[in-house]
Amino acid sequence: MLLLSGVEFAAASGAVLVLALVLPTVLLAKSYRRCPPNRMLVVYGQGVPNGSKCIRGGGVLVWPIIQDCAELSLEPIKVPIVVERISTHGNDAVEVNAVVTVAIGQGERMSANAAERLIGLDERAIETMVRDILVGNLRRTVAMRELAEVKGESEKLSAQATEDAAPEVGKVGLEILGYRIDRVVEKA
């Protein structure tokens, strides 16, 4: 049987007490996650209501083992679009070049959609997804207009294309910040 003297017992008790105070503090410090204002932290796992919690710039305690987190950029993404053959309402073919700027939308619903659909995708994959959505919407927008209207009123066409595409882009948690039609060329 091991007997400790008073000094040894006090030293052992002090070491255990220090370990009991330091270990939880270190674990809590390692579990606290921060993100800058240009990023969104998505916490998911056990105990997170609705499956995920989105924090835009700030910090949160992520419990080890039962929760995890991922970051999404809030920086705008420019998506160039070139559609070589679009038929107008009068069956005239045109080529349309545009640049659309998108970013993760404001509000809880948009953040939740982005968390659900964009985590794990790099910027190129997001750009490809958005381009596919925008090309289809641009085709529909141009198909509803006459050639003169498409060629002569690019601002009006941009505004209508934005209005048409916004709900579809919103389903993946993005909003359109800018939609610029650079060029409309009639094709033979």
Domain ranges of the chain: 6-73, 77-187
Looking at residue 43, its pLDDT comes to 92
What is the residue-level pLDDT of the chain in tens, covering all 188 positions? 566 666 677 777 777 777 777 777 777 777 889 999 999 999 998 888 888 899 998 888 888 889 899 999 999 999 999 988 888 888 888 889 999 999 999 999 999 999 999 999 999 999 999 999 999 999 998 888 888 888 888 888 899 999 999 999 999 999 999 999 988 888 76
User: Using CA atoms, how far apart are residues 104 and 177, in angstroms rounded to an integer?
Assistant: 10
User: Using CA atoms, how far apart are residues 98 and 183, in angstroms rounded to an integer?
Assistant: 7
User: Using CA atoms, how far apart are residues 161 and 138, in angstroms rounded to an integer?
Assistant: 6
Angle between helices 123-143 and 154-170 (to 10 degrees): 130
CATH architecture group of domain 77-187:
2-Layer Sandwich (3.30)
User: Using CA atoms, how far apart are residues 45 and 70, in angstroms rounded to an integer?
Assistant: 11
Identify the burial level of 5 via C-beta atoms within 10 angstroms of its C-beta, where 0-12 means exposed, 13-18 middle and 19 or more buried.
exposed
